Amino acid sequence: MAAPGKLSALTAGRAKAAGMYGDGGGLWLQVSGAGAKSWIFRFTLNGRSREMGLGSFSTFTLAEARERALACRKLCAEGIDPIEARQVQRGEARLEAAKAMTFAECALAYIESHKAGWRNAKHASQWQATLDTYANPAFGDLPVQAVDTGLVMRAIEPIWATKSETASRVRGRIEAILDWATTRSYRRGENPARWKGHLQNLLPKRSKVRRVQHHAALPYAEISRFMTDLRSRDAIAARALEFAILTATRTAEIIGARWSEIDLATAMWTIPKERMKGGREHRVPLSAAAMDLLNALAGPSGGPFVFPGTRRGKPLSNMAMLELLKRMDRPDLTVHGFRSTFRDWAAETTTFASEVVEMALAHIVSDKVEAAYRRGDLLQKRRELMDAWSKFCG
């Protein structure tokens, strides 16, 4: 490299034509076609030629640019790539600055950056609620870099056996936030919340821990008597709950049901993927009892929703069926629990294959089963299943 000193502050300031103006020692003044000026350091290390930006001409004087170029030449003399060295330095600076970035702050940033892509608007509040309940009390105020395996275990181990599904969700959400923080250079190292090859060595599989009944369910032997009481009640919430039981569907799917989704001619209810928890379109074969219920309603003339609420053009409240259960002196039950009633009945009293029952509940099954379902044979089996369930319900 030529010794520096070919440029002067005056000539550098007067340079207008686009091009590269050498000062020596690997330092160049670059003038773009738009007239912008910047300092460039050119070097060759291990047979590889590279260019490194040293800053804007308006920010750094010629003397300062020479000092920067000198520092780079010294690194090259030691066999150190100055570009890689700067990247490491910046990473350390970001990491140092991130000591003030707590896990709770990272969680907020993660939720904010991802919520636009979540199918359900409730996901953001659900994420925040679980983190506030389980993760943040354990390490929310700590720097995200400080979160280690012990802290993650402190958050999820107490509920792993008693609330296994919730604990698994919390672990996954912590893992996602820590991965985000690593990508943003707020932390380094392996993710202490990862399951495979790590927490799986410290915690039992969810399938091995005691299952907890999250939704109070009615024993299937009592469903006929319950349905008799339910059908004696003249309320739209009663019809909605009856339809939910007959179709083994979820509350959100029931209250959002539209007449446009139902084909009365083929006795089929097609729920669009946008309204399904699994994000897949779900076809529900309707039994004779379910069809009788629909035919007794006002139909499309009563508005777009099958089960309209008190406000015109609005669906039934998501609390209406729960309030109905309270009026029936059954506050011990939940709407979702009737899906468990259906599942228990199918498993213990019928010979229907498990995948048929799982598909009826809109649970995700294998691609092979999904392909069979699309061909129609599982749909026919599910129709037989729902007819049998309807008859059992009385």
Tell the residue number behind the tokens 């779900």, with chain if given.
282
Of 11-15, 118-122, 145-149, 150-154, which range is least confident? 118-122
* 88 lies in the same domain as 105: no
Tell the residue number behind the tokens 């959100």, with chain if given.
252
* 127 lies in the same domain as 83: no
Query: Would residue 83 count as lying in a domain?
Result: yes
Q: What is the mean pLDDT of residues 348-374?
A: 77
What is the rounded distance in angstroms from the CA atom of residue 27 to the CA atom of residue 118? 49
* 376 lies in the same domain as 308: yes
Of 120-134, 211-225, 296-310, 339-353, which range is least confident? 211-225
pLDDT over 80 (residue 264):
yes
Provide the pLDDT for residue 213.
Answer: 45
Cβ neighbours for 51, distance < 8 A, ≥ 6 positions apart: 40, 41, 42
Q: What is the mean pLDDT of residues 245-251?
A: 95
Provide the pLDDT for residue 212.
Answer: 45
Provide the pLDDT for residue 195.
Answer: 95
* 173 lies in the same domain as 145: yes
Q: Structural domain tally of the chain?
A: 3
* 130 lies in the same domain as 258: no
Tell the residue number behind the tokens 């920010």, with chain if given.
59
Tell the residue number behind the tokens 């773009």, with chain if given.
32
* 255 lies in the same domain as 339: yes
Amino acid type, 200: Q
* Residue of 341, 334, 351 lying closest to 385 (CA atoms): 351
Distance from chain centroid for Cα 203: 23
- Residue that finishes a domain, picked among 54, 71, 93: 93
**What CATH number is given to the structural domain containing 62?**
3.30.160.390
* 365 lies in the same domain as 248: yes
- Residue that finishes a domain, picked among 208, 233, 259: 208
Coil, helix or strand for 219? coil
Radius of gyration of the chain measured on its C-alpha atoms:
32
* 310 lies in the same domain as 234: yes
**What CATH number is given to the structural domain containing 345?**
1.10.443.10
Q: What is the mean pLDDT of residues 356-379?
A: 71
Contact 288, 244 (CB under 8 A): no
* 80 lies in the same domain as 160: no
Mean pLDDT rounded to a whole number for the chain: 88
* 236 lies in the same domain as 357: yes
| pLDDT tens digit sequence for 298-331 | 777 778 999 999 888 889 988 999 999 999 999 8
* 82 lies in the same domain as 163: no
Other CB atoms closer than 10 Å to residue 232's CB: what's the count?
8
Domain, as residue range, for 66 = 9-93
- Residue that finishes a domain, picked among 93, 128, 156: 93
What is the rounded distance in angstroms from the CA atom of residue 84 to the CA atom of residue 159? 45
The DSSP code sequence of 258-298 is: BGGGEETTTTEEEE-GGGSTTSS-EEEEPPHHHHHHHHTS-
| pLDDT tens digit sequence for 26-54 | 999 999 988 899 999 999 998 899 999 99
pTM of the complete model: 0.51
Dihedrals φ, ψ of 30, to 5°? -105, 125
